[in-house]
Structure 1
Amino acid sequence: MRHAARSLSSALYATIVALAFSGGFGAGGASTSAQAAGTASRFEWPASFNVLGDGYPHSGDACRRLGESAATANYLDHMAMLVGCPGASDSAAVRAIVGHQRHARVVGEADGVTLISISTERGPVGSQNSHAPVKESPISATGTLACERDNGQTKTMCKFGVVHHSDRSNTVVVYWPDGTTRAIFFGANGRIIGTAAAASDRPMPGNTLTRKHAGINLISVGNERYEIEDTVLSGD
């Protein structure tokens, strides 16, 4: 009986050792699998971005703060912070930032990264120095103008509205057929001072080129093209 008990004990010990080395017991095997999955899902940031920090808004998060680079030149603003999140604009990471930070808005996409601008211009709540919301000026005139994007793949006529301001500056808002807009801000001298997604946004200097031909301003904003006549700006 003693011999049989010792044999059974030795066999049980051998089985436990074998299971331990094979990862059948304990969290070692599961931990290794989790690490492998985490490594496989880690996003490789393109070289076109200047990535800052190790996560936004918290360390280890998927999104990152972005500095100046070729991919972000059109989206930088000295009054805002630029954040990039891997994936589309409807991803959970993007929704978490835009949904919880009232000054955050999606401004574009580049190289598989959704770009979010977060305004850093905040006044103390209840402060007498806080600025009241600016009432948007009424549209002075409307019409249509030639427009294209995607390097000429989309050529059409877009509706526009222009606001003539008291300081002789102008804001032209172009309405694309898909519902998106482009606001182009002109100074009193007729030169472009910036563009934005909407007239209520802050003008942002960026990759904007302008040349004039026969009284028409030929304007390039990234891969977008617009033709705005001088008469639109002068109100004649």
Structure 2
Amino acid sequence: MACNTTFFRLPFRPLGAPALFASIVTIALNFTSTFAHAATAAEHFAWPSSFVVMGNGYPHAGDACRRLGESAATANYLDHTAMLVGCPGSSDSAAARAILDHRHARVVGEADGVTLISISTEGDRSTVSHSDPAPVKPTPFSATGTLPCERGGGQTKTMCKFGVVRHGDRSTAVVIFWPDDRTQTIFFAANGRVIGTGVKADDQPVPGNTLTQKNAGISLISIGNERYEITDSVLSGN
């Protein structure tokens, strides 16, 4: 018994040139819009007050990333052999990846929505940004950590971050970072005696209302209504 099968052919309507052109334009516009949105977001990123932002772009003026200076948020990442750069967003962002492609760059942390990238400056001067009017060298901390601090007559007691700068003549400067981003620097002579205070490590020591008591290798230092406990090991490194 024969079986007859009938096939029906549906009409094929090729996409006309105008329609094809319109589709290509739509795709291109969507891509451009997405790219522009990402660029605009980076351009209008509001840098948190916890960072000291330097320049108007890194590595070029107008770029999303910025060089970062000394603050409580960056104290543990500053190195005299490298510069610290912050990029808005995660380490997977286009701006961060462009810098990380450099063989001397590495991610060292993240804070307040910013990826922190350390870029070695040893043996490669091309990493210095020319967008800044004058390069600012981060303070070369010999060591960092936390120490007990209080103010307001003991009303505020907490642990403050610090960075210590040790000089060749054995004098030292201890930069203390309060949680509210205020800084206090205490300068010590080679014998461990307090010789003054300031705001930054490279300030000139200013004699002030300071009182120091020594107890079991700990200097109890009062500056106005503030009090700090600094161990001898912080000053000597031993």
Please give the TM-score of this superposition, normalised by the length of structure 2: 0.42
Please give the TM-score of this superposition, normalised by the length of structure 1: 0.42
